[in-house]
Structure 1
Amino acid sequence: MKMYGGNAELARGAVRFLLQKPSDAVRKLRWKAMHAHTSIAQNILDFDAFKLVVDAKDEGISAELAIDHMHEPFGTAILCHILADDMTVVELGANIGYYTMQECAARKLRRVVAIEPNPRSFEILKQNVELNACDNVTMHNIAISDTDGTLPFYIPSTRIFAALRRDPTTSASSTSPCARSMGSSRPIRSKKST
């Protein structure tokens, strides 16, 4: 209490803030507690305009979305504000599709091109596109680079992203095709909703 100058209201406000917006450590603990006694590999989160499959082993974006029900609030708000009908969006690093679903839900976009090199993230991205019947999404399981070929990707065991450099949390590695343009990869198109 002394660190707030004896101001109980200020101290209560700080506690409320910390409880409302958990730190990464608190979020990780909550996420682990939610999945401590289950073997569920995935959860489906229900947002107002779409549903999203998340990875129960991911302590990154999946945990953030399950606990906070939001990812990068300012970035999400800006994206939804600048989208316009009949726009084509190219999303580099689509991950599991949070922004892809925002893009599909926000406007009548002509086309969304979602590019994700991590095979694990890409599989969940495909599930999310199908779950939400986003028939204007084209997906590419590639990395965009300055050369055609392949790149090594290092995949942490507790997060659903990949990096070009190995770090202490890396548990697996994979290679991903890379291309200078999307024309050199075979796209995976979303299924038309019936």
Structure 2
Amino acid sequence: MNAADGISPEDTLGLVQRCANGDEAAYNQLFQAIYEDLRRRAHLQLSGRRDGTMSTTLLVHETYLKLAGTRLALNDRAHFFAIAARAMRQILINAARDRAAQKRGGDQQRVTFDQSAMVAPELSHDLLGLDAAMKALEANDARLAQVVELHFFAGLDFARIAELLGLSERTVARDWRAARAMLRLHLETPP
């Protein structure tokens, strides 16, 4: 029994296999079983960001809604977390794009200028820049992008990523260093 989520590895595998066959009830059970783990991962995604529009709970629930309507071909629990991490990333990117569109007058309303109300939109720029960097990384080397998603967004350690991708831990660590360098270069290069 896994203390973190209250479900045994055998039960998890059974739920994953039922999900792969399109069993929506199994998907709901799997999601409930790993809900707290997803909350921890969502909290990590949102930590350090000054955006008050997205809470941990909202991000997890949006992730559920995004994934619930799709037929997931899952290999195991880690694969579910990788898919959930990608969904979380997409939700955050879409929210940042929506805020940027609003900033450009998407929902115009007349207001009086108040200098004290000015807040730096670092989150939107950071997420949109990271999304562009991830897309460039994926176009250049899909495996490096996958390692970033699994480690940074899904929170998996190198051993679990190595197992999931069929690589050695040293290769995953090397891929992580290379991906970080490429992302940093992309983020620091002016457009």
TM-score, reference length from structure 1: 0.31
TM-score, reference length from structure 2: 0.31
Q: Which has the higher contact order (CA 8 A, sep 6+)?
A: 2
* Structure with higher helix content: 2
* Structure with higher strand content: 1
